[in-house]
Chain A
Amino acid sequence: MASLKELRARIGSVKSTKKITSAMKMVAAAKLRRAQLHAEAARPYAAAMRRMLGELAGAMAGQDGAPQLLAGTGNDRVHLLVPITSDRGLAGGFNSNINRTTRLTIRRLQAEGKVVKLLPIGRKGYDYLVREYTDLIVDHVIGVGGKEIPFSAASDLGAKITALLEAGQFDVCTIIYNQFHNVMSQVPTPLQLIPLGLDEAAVKPDPNAAQYEFEPDEQVLLERLLPRNLQVQIYASLLESAAGEQGARMTAMDNATRNAGKAIDRLTQTYNRTRQANITNDLIEIISGAQAV
Protein backbone atom coordinates (compact mmCIF):
# COMPACT_ATOMS: atom_id res chain seq x y z
CA MET A 1 0.00 0.00 0.00
CA ALA A 2 1.18 3.50 -0.86
CA SER A 3 2.58 5.51 2.01
CA LEU A 4 0.78 8.57 3.34
CA LYS A 5 3.37 10.85 1.84
CA GLU A 6 2.92 9.37 -1.64
CA LEU A 7 -0.85 9.67 -1.38
CA ARG A 8 -0.59 13.30 -0.33
CA ALA A 9 1.62 14.04 -3.32
CA ARG A 10 -0.81 12.34 -5.70
CA ILE A 11 -3.80 14.20 -4.31
CA GLY A 12 -1.87 17.44 -4.75
CA SER A 13 -1.04 16.69 -8.36
CA VAL A 14 -4.58 15.66 -9.28
CA LYS A 15 -5.84 18.85 -7.65
CA SER A 16 -3.59 21.03 -9.77
CA THR A 17 -4.60 19.10 -12.90
CA LYS A 18 -8.20 19.79 -12.02
CA LYS A 19 -7.46 23.49 -11.70
CA ILE A 20 -5.91 23.52 -15.15
CA THR A 21 -8.73 21.62 -16.84
CA SER A 22 -11.39 23.77 -15.24
CA ALA A 23 -9.54 26.94 -16.32
CA MET A 24 -9.28 25.56 -19.85
CA LYS A 25 -12.99 24.87 -19.81
CA MET A 26 -13.74 28.48 -18.87
CA VAL A 27 -11.45 29.81 -21.57
CA ALA A 28 -12.99 27.50 -24.16
CA ALA A 29 -16.47 28.63 -23.15
CA ALA A 30 -15.57 32.28 -23.62
CA LYS A 31 -13.88 31.60 -26.96
CA LEU A 32 -16.80 29.48 -28.06
CA ARG A 33 -19.20 32.36 -27.61
CA ARG A 34 -17.03 34.62 -29.72
CA ALA A 35 -16.53 31.98 -32.39
CA GLN A 36 -20.27 31.38 -32.57
CA LEU A 37 -20.97 35.08 -32.98
CA HIS A 38 -18.45 35.21 -35.83
CA ALA A 39 -19.96 32.20 -37.52
CA GLU A 40 -23.43 33.71 -37.28
CA ALA A 41 -22.28 37.11 -38.55
CA ALA A 42 -20.85 35.49 -41.67
CA ARG A 43 -24.08 33.73 -42.60
CA PRO A 44 -26.03 36.56 -44.33
CA TYR A 45 -23.24 37.06 -46.88
CA ALA A 46 -23.17 33.37 -47.72
CA ALA A 47 -26.97 33.28 -48.00
CA ALA A 48 -27.14 36.31 -50.31
CA MET A 49 -24.33 34.85 -52.38
CA ARG A 50 -26.17 31.57 -52.80
CA ARG A 51 -29.29 33.42 -53.92
CA MET A 52 -27.37 35.40 -56.54
CA LEU A 53 -25.57 32.30 -57.79
CA GLY A 54 -28.87 30.49 -58.10
CA GLU A 55 -30.31 33.32 -60.20
CA LEU A 56 -27.23 33.46 -62.37
CA ALA A 57 -26.98 29.73 -62.87
CA GLY A 58 -30.67 29.73 -63.77
CA ALA A 59 -30.12 32.46 -66.35
CA MET A 60 -27.08 30.67 -67.74
CA ALA A 61 -28.70 27.24 -67.89
CA GLY A 62 -28.37 25.63 -71.29
CA GLN A 63 -25.50 27.87 -72.34
CA ASP A 64 -22.08 26.50 -73.09
CA GLY A 65 -18.82 27.61 -71.60
CA ALA A 66 -19.69 27.49 -67.92
CA PRO A 67 -16.52 28.15 -65.88
CA GLN A 68 -14.63 25.20 -64.42
CA LEU A 69 -15.44 26.25 -60.88
CA LEU A 70 -19.13 25.63 -61.57
CA ALA A 71 -19.08 22.75 -64.03
CA GLY A 72 -15.81 21.05 -63.11
CA THR A 73 -13.30 19.72 -65.60
CA GLY A 74 -15.70 17.14 -66.96
CA ASN A 75 -13.67 14.37 -65.34
CA ASP A 76 -14.00 12.59 -62.03
CA ARG A 77 -10.54 11.06 -61.71
CA VAL A 78 -8.41 13.15 -59.37
CA HIS A 79 -9.92 14.12 -56.02
CA LEU A 80 -8.49 16.84 -53.81
CA LEU A 81 -9.45 16.49 -50.15
CA VAL A 82 -9.15 19.44 -47.79
CA PRO A 83 -9.53 18.26 -44.19
CA ILE A 84 -9.84 21.10 -41.67
CA THR A 85 -8.47 20.40 -38.20
CA SER A 86 -7.24 22.60 -35.36
CA ASP A 87 -3.64 23.46 -34.57
CA ARG A 88 -3.97 22.48 -30.93
CA GLY A 89 -5.07 19.28 -29.28
CA LEU A 90 -6.89 18.59 -26.01
CA ALA A 91 -10.24 18.89 -27.71
CA GLY A 92 -11.63 15.38 -27.28
CA GLY A 93 -12.37 13.58 -30.50
CA PHE A 94 -12.51 16.77 -32.55
CA ASN A 95 -9.42 16.17 -34.67
CA SER A 96 -9.38 12.39 -34.64
CA ASN A 97 -12.92 12.32 -36.05
CA ILE A 98 -11.81 14.41 -39.00
CA ASN A 99 -8.70 12.30 -39.46
CA ARG A 100 -10.69 9.09 -39.39
CA THR A 101 -13.25 10.42 -41.87
CA THR A 102 -10.44 11.58 -44.13
CA ARG A 103 -8.71 8.20 -44.01
CA LEU A 104 -11.93 6.33 -44.75
CA THR A 105 -12.66 8.68 -47.66
CA ILE A 106 -9.15 8.18 -49.06
CA ARG A 107 -9.54 4.41 -48.82
CA ARG A 108 -12.95 4.49 -50.49
CA LEU A 109 -11.79 6.72 -53.34
CA GLN A 110 -8.65 4.68 -53.89
CA ALA A 111 -10.69 1.48 -53.95
CA GLU A 112 -12.78 3.07 -56.71
CA GLY A 113 -9.59 3.65 -58.65
CA LYS A 114 -9.46 7.43 -58.17
CA VAL A 115 -6.34 9.43 -57.54
CA VAL A 116 -6.41 11.26 -54.21
CA LYS A 117 -4.49 14.39 -53.29
CA LEU A 118 -4.52 16.11 -49.92
CA LEU A 119 -4.34 19.69 -48.75
CA PRO A 120 -4.63 19.49 -44.97
CA ILE A 121 -5.43 22.63 -42.99
CA GLY A 122 -4.40 22.71 -39.34
CA ARG A 123 -1.42 21.10 -37.65
CA LYS A 124 -3.24 18.12 -36.13
CA GLY A 125 -4.51 16.85 -39.46
CA TYR A 126 -1.21 17.43 -41.21
CA ASP A 127 0.81 15.64 -38.52
CA TYR A 128 -1.50 12.67 -38.73
CA LEU A 129 -1.78 12.41 -42.50
CA VAL A 130 1.88 13.04 -43.22
CA ARG A 131 2.77 9.74 -41.54
CA GLU A 132 0.65 7.56 -43.78
CA TYR A 133 0.13 9.59 -46.93
CA THR A 134 3.25 11.71 -47.38
CA ASP A 135 3.25 11.43 -51.15
CA LEU A 136 -0.43 12.43 -51.48
CA ILE A 137 -0.02 15.80 -49.76
CA VAL A 138 0.32 18.60 -52.30
CA ASP A 139 0.43 21.42 -49.79
CA HIS A 140 -0.61 22.24 -46.26
CA VAL A 141 -1.66 25.28 -44.26
CA ILE A 142 -0.98 25.76 -40.57
CA GLY A 143 -1.90 28.64 -38.31
CA VAL A 144 -5.34 29.50 -39.68
CA GLY A 145 -7.31 28.38 -36.66
CA GLY A 146 -6.11 31.17 -34.39
CA LYS A 147 -8.51 33.13 -32.28
CA GLU A 148 -9.57 35.54 -35.03
CA ILE A 149 -9.95 34.18 -38.54
CA PRO A 150 -9.55 36.96 -41.07
CA PHE A 151 -11.38 36.65 -44.37
CA SER A 152 -8.03 36.94 -46.14
CA ALA A 153 -7.10 33.49 -44.79
CA ALA A 154 -10.04 32.06 -46.71
CA SER A 155 -9.32 34.05 -49.84
CA ASP A 156 -5.68 32.90 -49.85
CA LEU A 157 -6.83 29.32 -49.57
CA GLY A 158 -9.38 29.87 -52.32
CA ALA A 159 -6.69 31.29 -54.57
CA LYS A 160 -4.49 28.28 -53.83
CA ILE A 161 -7.22 25.85 -54.75
CA THR A 162 -8.18 27.79 -57.89
CA ALA A 163 -4.55 27.82 -59.00
CA LEU A 164 -4.35 24.04 -58.56
CA LEU A 165 -7.55 23.64 -60.58
CA GLU A 166 -6.28 25.84 -63.38
CA ALA A 167 -3.05 23.85 -63.44
CA GLY A 168 -5.16 20.75 -64.00
CA GLN A 169 -4.06 19.19 -60.71
CA PHE A 170 -7.47 17.83 -59.75
CA ASP A 171 -11.05 17.35 -60.97
CA VAL A 172 -13.09 17.33 -57.78
CA CYS A 173 -12.42 19.25 -54.57
CA THR A 174 -14.04 18.34 -51.27
CA ILE A 175 -13.61 19.98 -47.89
CA ILE A 176 -13.96 17.83 -44.78
CA TYR A 177 -14.78 19.90 -41.73
CA ASN A 178 -16.50 19.64 -38.38
CA GLN A 179 -20.00 21.01 -38.69
CA PHE A 180 -21.04 22.70 -35.47
CA HIS A 181 -24.34 21.21 -34.30
CA ASN A 182 -24.12 22.17 -30.64
CA VAL A 183 -21.56 22.26 -27.88
CA MET A 184 -21.75 18.50 -27.42
CA SER A 185 -21.68 17.38 -31.03
CA GLN A 186 -19.59 18.32 -34.01
CA VAL A 187 -20.18 16.22 -37.08
CA PRO A 188 -17.41 15.60 -39.63
CA THR A 189 -19.03 16.68 -42.89
CA PRO A 190 -17.74 16.47 -46.45
CA LEU A 191 -18.63 19.51 -48.57
CA GLN A 192 -17.97 19.41 -52.30
CA LEU A 193 -16.62 22.75 -53.52
CA ILE A 194 -15.70 21.96 -57.12
CA PRO A 195 -17.68 21.33 -59.19
CA LEU A 196 -20.20 23.36 -57.31
CA GLY A 197 -23.33 21.35 -56.64
CA LEU A 198 -26.20 23.85 -56.67
CA ASP A 199 -29.37 22.23 -55.50
CA GLU A 200 -32.32 22.17 -57.86
CA ALA A 201 -34.42 24.61 -55.88
CA ALA A 202 -31.70 27.24 -56.01
CA VAL A 203 -31.07 26.90 -59.73
CA LYS A 204 -34.71 27.09 -60.75
CA PRO A 205 -35.94 30.49 -59.62
CA ASP A 206 -39.59 31.30 -59.26
CA PRO A 207 -40.92 31.48 -62.85
CA ASN A 208 -43.29 34.31 -61.88
CA ALA A 209 -40.46 36.53 -60.67
CA ALA A 210 -39.39 39.27 -63.04
CA GLN A 211 -36.42 38.54 -65.24
CA TYR A 212 -33.14 39.84 -63.91
CA GLU A 213 -30.92 42.16 -65.85
CA PHE A 214 -27.20 41.65 -65.55
CA GLU A 215 -24.47 44.19 -65.77
CA PRO A 216 -21.90 43.82 -67.37
CA ASP A 217 -23.28 40.37 -68.37
CA GLU A 218 -23.98 36.92 -66.95
CA GLN A 219 -20.66 35.45 -67.99
CA VAL A 220 -18.53 38.17 -66.39
CA LEU A 221 -20.61 38.23 -63.21
CA LEU A 222 -20.43 34.48 -62.87
CA GLU A 223 -16.68 34.49 -63.39
CA ARG A 224 -16.30 37.00 -60.57
CA LEU A 225 -18.92 35.52 -58.30
CA LEU A 226 -17.65 31.93 -58.36
CA PRO A 227 -14.18 32.50 -56.86
CA ARG A 228 -15.84 34.68 -54.20
CA ASN A 229 -18.31 31.94 -53.48
CA LEU A 230 -15.47 29.45 -53.09
CA GLN A 231 -13.81 31.76 -50.56
CA VAL A 232 -17.05 32.30 -48.70
CA GLN A 233 -17.67 28.56 -48.45
CA ILE A 234 -14.14 28.02 -47.14
CA TYR A 235 -14.54 30.91 -44.72
CA ALA A 236 -17.80 29.49 -43.40
CA SER A 237 -16.24 26.07 -42.88
CA LEU A 238 -13.24 27.59 -41.11
CA LEU A 239 -15.54 29.50 -38.76
CA GLU A 240 -17.72 26.48 -38.06
CA SER A 241 -14.65 24.42 -37.41
CA ALA A 242 -13.27 27.05 -35.04
CA ALA A 243 -16.53 27.13 -33.09
CA GLY A 244 -16.60 23.34 -33.06
CA GLU A 245 -13.06 23.17 -31.74
CA GLN A 246 -13.92 25.34 -28.75
CA GLY A 247 -17.12 23.40 -28.16
CA ALA A 248 -15.29 20.09 -28.26
CA ARG A 249 -12.58 21.40 -25.95
CA MET A 250 -15.15 22.71 -23.51
CA THR A 251 -16.91 19.36 -23.34
CA ALA A 252 -13.63 17.45 -23.06
CA MET A 253 -12.35 19.69 -20.28
CA ASP A 254 -15.66 19.51 -18.46
CA ASN A 255 -15.36 15.71 -18.43
CA ALA A 256 -11.74 15.90 -17.36
CA THR A 257 -12.62 18.22 -14.47
CA ARG A 258 -15.35 15.89 -13.32
CA ASN A 259 -13.07 12.85 -13.51
CA ALA A 260 -10.36 14.68 -11.57
CA GLY A 261 -12.93 15.45 -8.86
CA LYS A 262 -13.82 11.78 -8.62
CA ALA A 263 -10.16 10.76 -8.49
CA ILE A 264 -9.55 13.23 -5.67
CA ASP A 265 -12.47 11.82 -3.66
CA ARG A 266 -11.19 8.29 -4.10
CA LEU A 267 -7.62 9.18 -3.19
CA THR A 268 -8.73 11.18 -0.16
CA GLN A 269 -10.72 8.21 1.09
CA THR A 270 -7.74 5.89 0.70
CA TYR A 271 -5.57 8.47 2.41
CA ASN A 272 -7.89 8.70 5.44
CA ARG A 273 -8.25 4.94 5.73
CA THR A 274 -4.49 4.50 5.63
CA ARG A 275 -4.04 7.20 8.22
CA GLN A 276 -6.56 5.57 10.59
CA ALA A 277 -4.96 2.15 10.11
CA ASN A 278 -1.58 3.66 10.96
CA ILE A 279 -2.94 5.23 14.14
CA THR A 280 -4.60 1.98 15.16
CA ASN A 281 -1.33 0.14 14.59
CA ASP A 282 0.56 2.66 16.68
CA LEU A 283 -1.97 2.37 19.53
CA ILE A 284 -1.81 -1.43 19.49
CA GLU A 285 1.95 -1.27 19.73
CA ILE A 286 1.88 1.19 22.65
CA ILE A 287 -0.76 -0.75 24.59
CA SER A 288 0.87 -4.14 24.09
CA GLY A 289 4.18 -2.57 25.11
CA ALA A 290 2.58 -1.22 28.35
CA GLN A 291 0.95 -4.61 29.11
CA ALA A 292 4.27 -6.40 28.77
CA VAL A 293 5.90 -4.22 31.44
Chain B
Amino acid sequence: MPIKVEIISPEKVLVSRDVDMVVMPGEEGDIAAMPEHAPMMLLLRGGTVTLYDGETPTDRYFVGGGFADMTQTRCTILADDAVPVTEISVDTATARLEELTEAWEAADKSDSARLEGLMSKIQSVRAEIDAGAGN
Protein backbone atom coordinates (compact mmCIF):
# COMPACT_ATOMS: atom_id res chain seq x y z
CA MET B 1 0.00 0.00 0.00
CA PRO B 2 1.54 3.30 -1.05
CA ILE B 3 1.60 6.56 0.83
CA LYS B 4 0.61 9.86 -0.73
CA VAL B 5 3.38 12.40 -0.55
CA GLU B 6 3.06 16.11 -1.17
CA ILE B 7 5.94 18.57 -1.18
CA ILE B 8 4.56 22.09 -1.05
CA SER B 9 6.49 25.34 -1.10
CA PRO B 10 4.75 28.66 -0.44
CA GLU B 11 4.68 29.34 -4.17
CA LYS B 12 3.49 25.99 -5.51
CA VAL B 13 3.01 22.26 -5.15
CA LEU B 14 6.18 20.48 -6.31
CA VAL B 15 5.19 16.87 -5.91
CA SER B 16 1.92 15.14 -5.31
CA ARG B 17 1.99 11.40 -5.93
CA ASP B 18 1.99 7.94 -4.37
CA VAL B 19 5.27 6.42 -3.21
CA ASP B 20 6.28 3.58 -0.91
CA MET B 21 8.52 5.52 1.44
CA VAL B 22 9.72 9.05 2.06
CA VAL B 23 12.92 9.82 3.94
CA MET B 24 13.18 13.36 5.22
CA PRO B 25 15.61 15.39 7.30
CA GLY B 26 13.98 15.95 10.70
CA GLU B 27 15.38 18.61 12.99
CA GLU B 28 16.59 15.87 15.33
CA GLY B 29 17.61 13.29 12.74
CA ASP B 30 16.37 11.75 9.53
CA ILE B 31 13.03 10.07 9.62
CA ALA B 32 11.14 7.86 7.17
CA ALA B 33 7.44 8.03 6.49
CA MET B 34 5.85 4.74 5.52
CA PRO B 35 2.25 3.61 5.31
CA GLU B 36 0.65 3.08 8.73
CA HIS B 37 3.15 5.33 10.45
CA ALA B 38 1.68 6.91 13.60
CA PRO B 39 0.47 10.49 12.98
CA MET B 40 3.30 12.86 13.58
CA MET B 41 4.30 16.44 13.04
CA LEU B 42 7.90 17.42 12.86
CA LEU B 43 10.25 20.25 12.20
CA LEU B 44 12.62 19.81 9.26
CA ARG B 45 16.16 21.06 8.89
CA GLY B 46 17.75 21.88 5.54
CA GLY B 47 18.45 18.64 3.70
CA THR B 48 17.32 16.16 1.10
CA VAL B 49 13.95 14.48 0.91
CA THR B 50 14.15 11.14 -0.89
CA LEU B 51 11.15 9.39 -2.41
CA TYR B 52 11.27 5.58 -2.70
CA ASP B 53 9.31 3.33 -5.02
CA GLY B 54 9.83 -0.09 -3.50
CA GLU B 55 13.46 -0.25 -2.44
CA THR B 56 14.83 2.14 -5.04
CA PRO B 57 15.15 5.88 -4.49
CA THR B 58 13.44 7.59 -7.45
CA ASP B 59 13.38 11.31 -6.75
CA ARG B 60 15.38 13.58 -4.50
CA TYR B 61 14.41 17.10 -3.49
CA PHE B 62 16.34 19.60 -1.47
CA VAL B 63 14.28 21.45 1.15
CA GLY B 64 15.59 24.43 3.06
CA GLY B 65 13.82 23.62 6.31
CA GLY B 66 10.10 23.48 6.99
CA PHE B 67 7.50 21.23 8.54
CA ALA B 68 6.12 17.79 7.87
CA ASP B 69 2.74 16.37 8.74
CA MET B 70 2.34 12.61 8.43
CA THR B 71 -0.60 10.35 8.97
CA GLN B 72 -1.13 6.68 8.14
CA THR B 73 -1.96 7.42 4.53
CA ARG B 74 -0.25 10.65 3.60
CA CYS B 75 2.81 12.77 4.22
CA THR B 76 2.67 16.51 3.63
CA ILE B 77 5.93 18.41 3.58
CA LEU B 78 5.69 22.17 3.91
CA ALA B 79 9.06 23.36 2.71
CA ASP B 80 10.38 26.89 3.18
CA ASP B 81 11.82 26.45 -0.27
CA ALA B 82 12.35 23.34 -2.34
CA VAL B 83 14.14 22.30 -5.54
CA PRO B 84 14.74 18.99 -7.25
CA VAL B 85 18.32 17.94 -6.45
CA THR B 86 19.14 17.82 -10.16
CA GLU B 87 18.41 21.55 -10.46
CA ILE B 88 20.63 22.71 -7.62
CA SER B 89 23.25 25.17 -8.74
CA VAL B 90 26.34 24.55 -6.63
CA ASP B 91 27.88 27.84 -7.75
CA THR B 92 25.03 30.06 -6.58
CA ALA B 93 24.77 28.05 -3.38
CA THR B 94 28.49 28.50 -2.75
CA ALA B 95 28.14 32.23 -3.36
CA ARG B 96 25.29 32.33 -0.87
CA LEU B 97 27.36 30.43 1.67
CA GLU B 98 30.12 33.02 1.36
CA GLU B 99 27.63 35.83 1.88
CA LEU B 100 26.23 34.11 4.95
CA THR B 101 29.68 33.44 6.35
CA GLU B 102 30.52 37.12 5.95
CA ALA B 103 27.27 38.07 7.67
CA TRP B 104 28.20 35.66 10.45
CA GLU B 105 31.62 37.31 10.88
CA ALA B 106 30.05 40.76 10.93
CA ALA B 107 27.17 39.82 13.21
CA ASP B 108 26.94 41.06 16.76
CA LYS B 109 28.11 38.08 18.80
CA SER B 110 25.82 38.92 21.71
CA ASP B 111 22.69 38.79 19.55
CA SER B 112 22.04 35.09 20.01
CA ALA B 113 18.72 35.01 18.11
CA ARG B 114 20.39 36.39 14.99
CA LEU B 115 23.38 34.10 15.34
CA GLU B 116 21.12 31.11 15.68
CA GLY B 117 19.17 32.13 12.58
CA LEU B 118 22.37 32.59 10.58
CA MET B 119 23.76 29.28 11.80
CA SER B 120 20.74 27.31 10.66
CA LYS B 121 20.86 29.09 7.28
CA ILE B 122 24.55 28.26 6.90
CA GLN B 123 23.89 24.63 7.75
CA SER B 124 21.05 24.53 5.27
CA VAL B 125 23.18 25.97 2.46
CA ARG B 126 26.00 23.51 3.28
CA ALA B 127 23.50 20.67 3.03
CA GLU B 128 22.35 22.09 -0.32
CA ILE B 129 25.91 22.15 -1.65
CA ASP B 130 26.49 18.58 -0.46
CA ALA B 131 23.29 17.46 -2.14
CA GLY B 132 24.11 19.30 -5.35
CA ALA B 133 27.70 18.02 -5.48
CA GLY B 134 26.46 14.53 -6.32
CA ASN B 135 25.04 15.62 -9.68
Contacts and interface: CB of A to CB of B under 8 A. Distances in A.
Interface SS of A by simple majority: helix
Contacts of B31: 215
A151 B8 CA distance: 13
Interface string A38-55: 100110110011011001
Interface string B15-58: 00000000000111001000000111111000000000000000
Interface stretch (A205-213, A266-274, A285-293): A205-213
Question: Size band of the B side of the interface?
Answer: 20 to 34
Nearest to A210: B39
B47 to A, nearest CB: 15
A235 to B, nearest CB: 6
A212 B80 CA distance: 22
Interface in A194-224: 209-216, 220-221, 224
Contacts of A35: none
Contact of A48 (B39, B43, B76): B76
Given A44-B6, A52-B78, A151-B11, A214 B28 contact: no
A278 B39 CA distance: 88
Contacts of B11: 38, 41-42, 45, 151
Given A41-B11, A44-B13, A215 B78 contact: no
Nearest to B12: A41
A52 B67 contact: yes
B69 A224 contact: no
Nearest to A47: B8
A56 interface: yes
Contacts of A118: none
B67 A215 contact: no
Given A154-B10, A214-B41, A221-B41, 12 more contacts: A45-B78, A48-B76, A52-B41, A52-B67, A52-B78, A55-B69, A210-B71, A213-B38, A213-B41, A215-B43, A221-B67, A224-B43
13 contacts: A41-B13, A44-B6, A45-B11, A48-B69, A48-B78, A56-B41, A213-B38, A215-B31, A215-B42, A216-B42, A224-B43, A225-B67, A228-B67
